[in-house]
Structure 1
Amino acid sequence: MFVGHYKDVPEKNTGFEGVTIRWLVSPKLGAKNFAMRYFVMKKGSEIPIHQHDWEHEIFIVRGEGIITNGKEEFHVKEGNFLYVPPNEPHGYKATGETLEFLCIIPAKKEAIPEEEWA
């Protein structure tokens, strides 16, 4: 078992202005099935619409934002959760001071950076 605190995990840039990520659980810790990430998006920041071969499970921890699949927009806030099926387009925009969320993905080589592997 491993117990940690999210603030002890290095915050890394994502390549999108105003968006950071912390890899809380990854294969680096021995996770073989799933990875857990903590995103922080500052007000007005965006992650453009994209898609993957894997699903996402998301829980909004703090703030407000818009999640879109390119056809519909969903206004989300603290306490909302989402399921994004494989290959469904999805994008994010922070509308509150921040949009902070947990995102769970499968532990697949194509989904996780090399430094997060054991």
Structure 2
Amino acid sequence: MIDHEENIKSIELRGDSLKNIKKQILIGPKDGFNGYMRMFTIGENGYTPYHTHDWYHVNYVTEGKGILRLGETENKLEKGSIAYVSPGMKHQFINTGKGDLKLLCLVPEKGDSY
């Protein structure tokens, strides 16, 4: 399977605990992968919910600047940053820069759906 990010539909996520978030599922079980590779675009002043779940995240920042809040610790992110969020760790991504914060996020199959 070969494709390009620009060809993949972007879904705007909505909710009271998040702001300015778009998600693309780049690769998933339909492509033969036993998990999901997702691209999140967090717009200016945007953030994900401060939440926890029982699966991991593997992240790679492709663009922008922000913070990954792990528990009560705020960790700076920038292009090229990598992060592992372990199962059960409360976490949140926050865009602190000008422009978009974009990050790849890999999760196991139970971590998302089409």
In the superposition, the TM-score normalised over structure 2's length comes to: 0.91
Query: Structure 2 matches for 1:25-104, cutoff 5 A?
Result: 25-31=27-33, 33-96=34-97, 97-104=99-106
Q: Describe the superposition over 1:61-105 as per-residue Cα deviations: whole angstroms up to 9, x where unpaired.
A: 000001102311001100000000001000011011111000000
RMSD: 1.0
SS in 2 for 1:7: helix
- Contact (CA 8 Å) 2:71, 2:89: kept in 1 or not? no
SS in 2 for 1:44: strand
Q: Which amino acid aligns with 1:98?
A: D
Structure 2 partner of 1:11: 10
- Contact (CA 8 Å) 1:49, 1:69: kept in 2 or not? no
Deviation, structure 1 residue 17: 3.0
Structure 2 unmatched ranges of 5 or more: none
In the superposition, the TM-score normalised over structure 1's length comes to: 0.88
Q: Which amino acid aligns with 2:92?
A: G
Identity value in percent: 29
Query: Structure 2 matches for 1:97-112, cutoff 5 A?
Result: 97-108=99-110, 111-112=111-112
How many residues align? The count is 110
